[in-house]
Amino acid sequence: MTAPDKALRDVGVSIDKPSAARVYDYFIGGHTNYAVDRLFAEKVRQRLPLIGDYCQASRQYLGRAVRQCVRAGIRQFVDLGSGLPTAGNVHEIADDERPEHDVRVLYLDNEPVALAHSQILLARTADPERHQALAADMLQPGELWERVLDSDVIDTAQPIGLILSAVLHFIEDDQDPDGMLAFYRAQLAPGSLLVLSQMTDENPADEEEKQALVDLITYYATTTNPGVLRTKAEFERFFGGWPLLHPGLGYVPAFYPDPETMFADAPSESRVIGGIARKP
């Protein structure tokens, strides 16, 4: 069975709970989601009307961050918890930024549907020598990194752009995100860039929004991906003390905004924080 055939078969896995990846896909206008995901998403939207805008702001940040990494000299990316392919994938952004088409990208995810669709997309549209999607669980860093080493896509002796975009809010503290990220940081060559983002509950606009964010976490506890929101102080530790690129740690619309950037005039209203750090 070919990889695309196997991927198509895996798309048919049973779904009895909403998936965070597919809900996110729905919120940013994708089409790889199911009724169970859409019903859940609309329930969340009723409680937190701007949740779709928050997700879109997060996706926009990923694109701008990849462009910044490429401009800073990064020629290979490892995207952990890459989720479902939709507009603005890392390899598409990198190739748009580099007409030489010399940037390599490895996507890793542990959700069968997300992985299957990624493999189908790459088989149809990408360069198999430079772009791959593999199954791996970021919470098992040793096993995941073995897959990176075996991929023939990534040269770990050279700087890497390591991306964890909009996934850390699905890793609770008792799952040891600190140890996980310490492991990944240790694997990277000097000059590598670490791109992180997640939702925050810091500085809600009022008591109503504060309670809505609490309810958001309660809702996600019923999905395949329970979540946790963090303040900037709680989030900053994930960079391991590495120096942050301008503009530092903050709300993502403030990072390299362009005319399309949502919440550019009021970044804190995006509810998403992020940063890019360089390994000394």
Q: What is the pLDDT of residues 101-114, one digit of tens each?
A: 999 999 999 887 77
- Could you tell me how far CA 152 lies from the centroid of its own chain? 22
In percent, the amount of the chain with pLDDT more than 90 equals 76
Higher pLDDT, 7 or 270: 270
Cα(198)–Cα(231) distance, integer angstroms: 10
pLDDT in the model for residue 11: 46
Domain count, the chain: 1
* pLDDT beyond 80 at 166: yes
* pLDDT beyond 70 at 10: no
Q: Please count the helices (runs of H) and the strands (runs of E) in the chain.
A: 10, 7
Read off the tokens for 199: 């939702």
Contact assessment for residue 24 and residue 83, using Cβ atoms and an 8 Å cutoff: yes
Cβ-based neighbours of 104, under 8 Å, separated by 6 or more: 75, 76, 77, 130, 131, 153, 154
Give the structural domain span for 206.
3-279
Higher pLDDT, 20 or 59: 59
Task: Assign 7 a pLDDT band (cuts: 50, 70, 90).
Answer: very low
* pLDDT beyond 90 at 271: yes
Cα(267)–Cα(246) distance, integer angstroms: 15
In percent, the amount of the chain with pLDDT more than 70 equals 94
Read off the tokens for 263: 């919440």
DSSP assignments along 75-144, one per residue: -EEEEET--S--SS-HHHHHHHH-TT---EEEEEES-HHHHHHHHHHHHHHS-TTTEEEEE--TTSHHHH
CATH number at residue 229: 3.40.50.150
* pLDDT beyond 50 at 6: no
* pLDDT beyond 80 at 15: no
Task: Assign 88 a pLDDT band (cuts: 50, 70, 90).
Answer: confident
When mean pLDDT is compared across 223-227, 242-246, 251-255, the lowest value belongs to 223-227
DSSP three-state, residue 251: strand
**Which of 3-12, 203-212, 247-256 reaches the highest mean pLDDT?**
247-256
